[in-house]
Amino acid sequence: MSLPHLFRFPGGIQPDAHKKESSEQPIRPVPLPARLAVPLVQSSQGSARTIVTVGDKVLKGQCIGEAEGNAGTAIHAPTSGRVTEIGRYPMAHPSGLDTLAIVIEPDGEERWIAREPLDMASASHEELILRVQASGIVGMGGAAFPSHIKANSKIDTLIINGAECEPWISCDDRLMRERSADIVTGARILRRLTGARRVLIGIEDNKPEAITAMKLVVQAAADDGGEISVITVPTRYPTGGQKQLIRVLTGFEIASNQRSSSFGVQCFNVGTAHAVCRALVHGEAMVSRVVTVTGNVEHPGNYEVLLGTAVADLIELCVAKPGTERTLMGGPLMGFTLPRLDAPITKSSNCIIAASNTLFPPAPPEQPCIRCGSCAQSCPTGLLPFELYWSSRAKNYDGAVHYNISECIECGCCAYVCPAHIPLVDYFRFAKSEIRARNQEKRAADQARARFEARSARLERDKAEKAARLTAKAAETRAALAANKDAATDANDAALIAAAVARTQAQSQAQPPASGQNGGATPPEPSI
């Protein structure tokens, strides 16, 4: 077998992996927590609609929120128990804002609802897609994009992402070592749904055990027309980024405004493939996921965590060591500091890191940029971060746009390598939000102007129509007068005309010219 030809993406970094801390123990269960708060929003594209009420008894895997609209995905009870509350709970998000969640108090029995596996041989494409949606499957790599949408496109190459490039995280590694068969089955189903000719499973070379396990399964069942290959890719952050992995495996470079499907490529995380298998072959909706808990804890490792489990419960289970200053969700390069620990685990939470100042030293003071260009050399998007920084700092947002700030994926490579310790990504996030706000303002102003212009035009038209009607009426009156000339006296005539003129004047005064007032600063109220 010839080695597959791999491609390079620009930049990238190679930080210490720190995978071993958590990757050497099998995936362990978590004792049932006192309550589970399942947020209705679990996907990046839509939300779910509650179909239970407080007091309802639910079974594990029972749907408690229906998919809302085409892009929504369903949510399910992670265990059997009772709905105790439907209220606002903190989100696992840097803002710490609240979101609507269904709270379930477990009864401790873990009783599943009747599971209905699909008969893969007879099920139609539509049935399968519907089941993916109804099982609440979203991308588990972090983006949480609804999988039924991605799986419903016709492509040539299906990519299964097992790169897991961020340091410290090892949940995909463990999943591939322990549940490779399910992942490959899921990949096969996804291939059937997408009609892909080939399936490429990309894994970074720092996970030899996972590579072996996956290869074993793939080789054991080299059957159903179409190649599945496990491809070892060099360890280089951010290879696990969807577009970077697509580049490495296929050579396609997908710009920020393009979709991978238009290149005939679609990419799913290994966890997602695993979930697809569980849902379709075993009839189990997505109710849990593997989460890495690592960093400054006594018992780092990977845990099978029910959705809705509070981060605090996990930290308590793994026992945070003294010196833990804050808790990160996600990896150290793209993850965020959790503002509150009562936030629940969601379908896209892959890692919890207890951060101490020893493991994650606070940022050294920011120094002036020396234009060394290290940041540009490390940027996987090919940007010039220092130019973005100079523009952002000077609040020259046009400059930032010129240097393509919108293409920045906030991967953190630039800030990682900067010798002046400039928190570049913070500057970019701030500039981006300013630019967004500015564009929104502009759009709002444009809309207001368009509305105002439309109204002015309407008023003009109304006025013209009214004038035309009045003229017509006056002409009519005159004609009537002419017809009654014999019967009518001159005085009568004059009175009638005067009345008509007065009416016209009164009407035109009640309706001032639309464009007249104060240069249009305050749009005139429309007259009826």
DSSP letter for each residue of 464-499: HHHHHHHHHHHHHHHHHHHHTTTTS-HHHHHHHHHH
CB nearer to other proteins: pick between 185 and 356: 356
Indicate which of other proteins, ligand SF4, none lies near residue 384 (CB less than 5 to 8 Å, by partner kind). other proteins
Neighbours of 258 (CB within 10 A): 12
Per rule CB under 8 A, count of chain residues that contact other proteins: 76
CB nearer to ligand SF4: pick between 258 and 358: 258
For residues 125-184, which are near other proteins according to CB under 8 A? Answer: 167
H or E element that contains 102: strand 98-106
Q: How far is the CB of 404 from ligand SF4 (least distance, A)?
A: 9
Contact in structure between 117 and 280 (CB atoms under 8 Å): yes
Q: Both ends of the chain: CA-CA distance in Å?
A: 81
Angstrom distance (rounded) from CA 63 to CA 135: 8
Q: Is 369 in the site for ligand SF4 (CB under 6 A)?
A: yes
Angstrom distance (rounded) from CA 229 to CA 232: 10
CB nearer to ligand SF4: pick between 115 and 371: 371
- How are beta strands 336-337 and 75-76 bridged, if at all? unpaired
Please choose, out of 143-151, 378-386, 439-447, 501-509, the segment that lies near ligand SF4 by the rule CB under 6 A: 378-386
Q: How far is the CB of 246 from ligand SF4 (least distance, A)?
A: 16
Q: Residue ranges of the alpha helices (H) in 310-423?
A: 311-318, 374-378, 385-393, 397-402, 413-417
CB nearer to ligand SF4: pick between 10 and 283: 10
Please choose, out of 416-424, 453-461, 470-478, 495-503, the segment that lies near other proteins by the rule CB under 8 A: 416-424
Q: Is 13 in the site for ligand SF4 (CB under 6 A)?
A: no
Q: How far is the CB of 373 from ligand SF4 (least distance, A)?
A: 5
Angstrom distance (rounded) from CA 423 to CA 332: 14
CB nearer to other proteins: pick between 319 and 445: 319
Residue from 128, 280, 333, 408 in contact with ligand SF4 (CB under 6 A) = 408
- For residues 351 to 380, the per-residue mask of contacts with other proteins, x marking binding by CB under 8 A and - elsewhere, is ----x----xxxxxxxxxxxxxxx-xx--x
Q: Is 335 in the site for other proteins (CB under 8 A)?
A: yes
Q: Is 409 in the site for ligand SF4 (CB under 6 A)?
A: yes
Residue from 102, 158, 314, 333 in contact with other proteins (CB under 8 A) = 333
Counting other chains too, the contacts that 426-431 makes at CB distance below 8 Å and 24 or more residues apart are: 427/388, 427/389, 427/392, 427/393, 428/385, 428/388, 428/389, 428/392, 430/392, 431/388, 431/391, 431/392, 431/397, 431/400, 431/405
Q: Which residues bind ligand SF4 (CB under 6 A)?
A: 369-375, 378-379, 381, 383, 385-386, 389, 408-414, 417-420, 422, 424-425, 428
